Chains A and B, each alone.
Chain A
């Protein structure tokens, strides 16, 4: 046992700890003393690794694989997008790059999703939402709105993976309590360091990650939330008037994104257990997944592409809520005008105040 104890490092200064006959672990460098039990606990935490294991979801998805029937499949020769719709809907342009798309019969229908949220708002409301989004954006180039044709906006069912799982385990945290006081000469700061571990569990349902490489993950995440209570079983009738993209991003690529979000959430929830500390930082997350499942669904999104200064700007509108997401072009001229105005105005005011205060 003593050999192991000797190899521990001081949590305060990282110098090697020495086992003292008093029963404590002592640091000769900073002269702190530690309870061996606590140092051992800390060490065991540090040596553990936890990973979110989503299990054999791929096999399950493959077992239940069913194709969408009677759909017309289009291919974009320009960007390679593969979209489909029903026989009554005429599609002419790619929703992602605006180039012409052609029908192909070499491909069968895409994987039938486990659920779909139908479009709730129509095209006109989507356009109104985009216009409202432009309002108040002071750096938007003045001619931007004229150049584009909002009419080109298209409704696309975007494939998503939904991740459901329980998160269970222990979050290990470095926590401090800080106390400050003063005498006539000095300001004192006392920081007490603690090893805090909270074990618990929580469940997540439907953490979404888009499954299409054509859609930017950041844009899709920002489109949330979708109201899952309006999720329906898939029926080809929902395709009428809309396009459906098909998944081409493996869930393995999407998983780290979902993991990160769940871990961040678990962390913030568990941090609330440490509200009596001044600072808390996560040392180790030893959480694992319980009952994980992965679902394949389609969510309604209006897509609009606008070219400005040779660059393509894509807007996405949540087809259920009307929320608009998209990076906007920034007018350099307007940026400099705003900056200059503030510089001169604020500078003049501060100069005047400084002059009268300190003269």
Chain B
């Protein structure tokens, strides 16, 4: 009984915390300087225990790389707003010129999660992200939660083919409009087809170069609902057992050690201290080794096949903000 009250209380506390922290969208704040962790202004200071929420008064265009005119932004915003209202999904056009050390798919996924773009019970949302980071100029269509299931690699490929030439010729506004039209058509199709699956889609482009696929994709199918449970009882008790085993083992080992003899292995007690002197000390440089390891927080984005056009990439995974699927190309 006590445990139940405890659980309810902490759940309520977490919930209010979420509301207090995330209710006001930082996207409307004119100050866009990085937060104290060196992450973007919309990034939470603490991502532990983050849960999806419904953001309020969210903009439909967040042009942080500032590549569109105000007029273009207004037109694109109106277009996206009509899609969002009609189909009830979260959709936003997003640009930035700094990935803050994250991969583009994680960055755009975090953008959706942390700003509360998800809609409905399952917090589905999708963004078209144009990245102008000098180290990684690329675009990504990134979908989270229930929207992940619609944006399969074949769909992503079709989107990429649709927007490719516009982006490469610098017509970014056109690319966004093309993307919005594609998304609108796709959701129209989903809304009017009973039990729509990506196989129902009439593909205009077929992706053939299968070697380019992220192997992760193989296991990534059309799913209904996702489990979002905490650790199972087995995990919790297992973790406790392992720590208990180790702790008990160390304790008994230290007690047993007290029962043994520990003879000295040095003659330090018999060293005449004033007697020590150094005649010569010589140090010669030999060689240097340099190793580098990818940071664990940032999973590798499959770079694709190289070449001047860059490759496509598609990945799905979990970031601090939750799961996503994402695809796009470099430019």
Q: Residue on A with the closest CB to B247?
A: A346
CB–CB A269/B276 < 8 A: yes
Known: A38-B286, A185-B294, A195-B283. A265 touches B278 (CB 8 A): no
CB–CB B240/A193 < 8 A: no
Q: Does A80 contact B (CB under 8 A)?
A: no
A67-75, A81-89, A218-226 - the one binding chain B = A218-226
Q: Does A34 contact B (CB under 8 A)?
A: yes
> Chain A 192-224, CB within 8 Å of chain B: the 1/0 string?
111111111111111110000000011101101
CB–CB A264/B267 < 8 A: yes
- What are the residues of chain B within 8 A of A345 when measuring CB–CB? 244
Contact size class for B? 35 or more
In the assembled complex, the CB of B325 is this many whole angstroms from the nearest CB of chain A, namely 22
Q: Does A113 contact B (CB under 8 A)?
A: no
Q: What's the Cα separation between A105 and B50 when bound, in Å?
A: 90
Quick one: which of B235, B259, B281, B282 contacts A139, CB cutoff 8 A? B259
Q: Residue on A with the closest CB to B264?
A: A221
A95-103, A229-237, A244-252, A332-340 - the one binding chain B = A332-340
Q: What's the Cα separation between A216 and B119 when bound, in Å?
A: 78
Known: A185-B298, A194-B284. A338 touches B248 (CB 8 A): yes
Known: A137-B258, A182-B295, A338-B248. A351 touches B239 (CB 8 A): yes
- What are the residues of chain A within 8 A of B280 when measuring CB–CB? 170, 197-200
Known: A185-B294, A355-B231. A342 touches B244 (CB 8 A): yes
Known: A139-B255, A188-B290, A189-B291. A339 touches B249 (CB 8 A): yes
In the assembled complex, the CB of A197 is this many whole angstroms from the nearest CB of chain B, namely 5
CB–CB A218/B256 < 8 A: no
The winner among B280, B282, B294 for most chain A CB atoms within 10 A is B282
Q: What's the Cα separation between A64 and B230 when bound, in Å?
A: 82
CB–CB B261/A197 < 8 A: no
CB–CB A268/B267 < 8 A: no
The main secondary structure of chain A at its interface with chain B is mixed
Known: A11-B286, A344-B244. A200 touches B279 (CB 8 A): yes
Q: Does A6 contact B (CB under 8 A)?
A: no
CB–CB B264/A224 < 8 A: yes
Q: Does B262 contact A (CB under 8 A)?
A: yes
> Chain B 284-298, CB within 8 Å of chain A: the 1/0 string?
111111111111001
CB–CB A347/B284 < 8 A: no
In the assembled complex, the CB of B127 is this many whole angstroms from the nearest CB of chain A, namely 21
Q: Does A262 contact B (CB under 8 A)?
A: yes
Q: What's the Cα separation between A153 and B99 when bound, in Å?
A: 77
> Chain B 101-137, CB within 8 Å of chain A: the 1/0 string?
1000000000000000000000000000000000100
CB–CB B264/A342 < 8 A: no
In the assembled complex, the CB of B251 is this many whole angstroms from the nearest CB of chain A, namely 5
The winner among B265, B271, B286, B298 for most chain A CB atoms within 10 A is B286
CB–CB B276/A347 < 8 A: no
Q: What's the Cα separation between A338 and B244 when bound, in Å?
A: 12
CB–CB B244/A346 < 8 A: yes
Q: Residue on B with the closest CB to A202?
A: B276
Known: A137-B258, A330-B259, A342-B248. A201 touches B275 (CB 8 A): yes
- What are the residues of chain A within 8 A of B245 when measuring CB–CB? 343, 347
In the assembled complex, the CB of A57 is this many whole angstroms from the nearest CB of chain B, namely 17
- What are the residues of chain A within 8 A of B276 when measuring CB–CB? 200-202, 269
Q: Does A62 contact B (CB under 8 A)?
A: no
A117-125, A293-301, A320-328 - the one binding chain B = A320-328
A300-359 with Cβ < 8 A to chain B = 325-330, 335, 338-352, 354-356, 358-359
Q: Does B19 contact A (CB under 8 A)?
A: no
Q: Residue on B with the closest CB to A192?
A: B288
Q: Does A12 contact B (CB under 8 A)?
A: yes
CB–CB A342/B247 < 8 A: yes
Quick one: which of B277, B283, B288, B295 contacts A175, CB cutoff 8 A? B283
Quick one: which of B231, B249, B264, B290 contacts A359, CB cutoff 8 A? B231
CB–CB B267/A258 < 8 A: yes
CB–CB A187/B293 < 8 A: yes
Quick one: which of B230, B281, B283 contacts A358, CB cutoff 8 A? B230
Q: Residue on B with the closest CB to A344?
A: B244
Q: What's the Cα separation between A349 and B248 when bound, in Å?
A: 13
Q: What's the Cα separation between A203 and B298 when bound, in Å?
A: 56
- What are the residues of chain B within 8 A of A140 when measuring CB–CB? 259
Q: Does B225 contact A (CB under 8 A)?
A: no
In the assembled complex, the CB of A86 is this many whole angstroms from the nearest CB of chain B, namely 31
In the assembled complex, the CB of A327 is this many whole angstroms from the nearest CB of chain B, namely 6
CB–CB B266/A194 < 8 A: no
In the assembled complex, the CB of A117 is this many whole angstroms from the nearest CB of chain B, namely 15
Known interface pairs A222-B261, A359-B231; 4 further A-B residue pairs with C-beta atoms within 8 A, sorted by A's residue number: A12-B289, A186-B294, A201-B276, A351-B239
Nearest 9 pairs of A and B residues by beta carbon? A347-B244, A351-B240, A184-B101, A342-B248, A359-B230, A203-B275, A221-B263, A347-B240, A261-B267
* Residues of chain B whose beta carbon lies under 8 Å from any beta carbon of chain A: 7, 10, 99-101, 135, 230-231, 235-237, 239-241, 243-245, 247-249, 251-252, 255-256, 258-272, 275-295, 298
- 22 A-B residue contacts at CB 8 Å? A139-B252, A139-B256, A184-B298, A187-B292, A194-B283, A194-B284, A196-B284, A201-B276, A204-B267, A204-B271, A206-B270, A219-B263, A222-B262, A222-B264, A261-B264, A261-B265, A265-B270, A273-B281, A339-B252, A343-B245, A347-B241, A351-B236
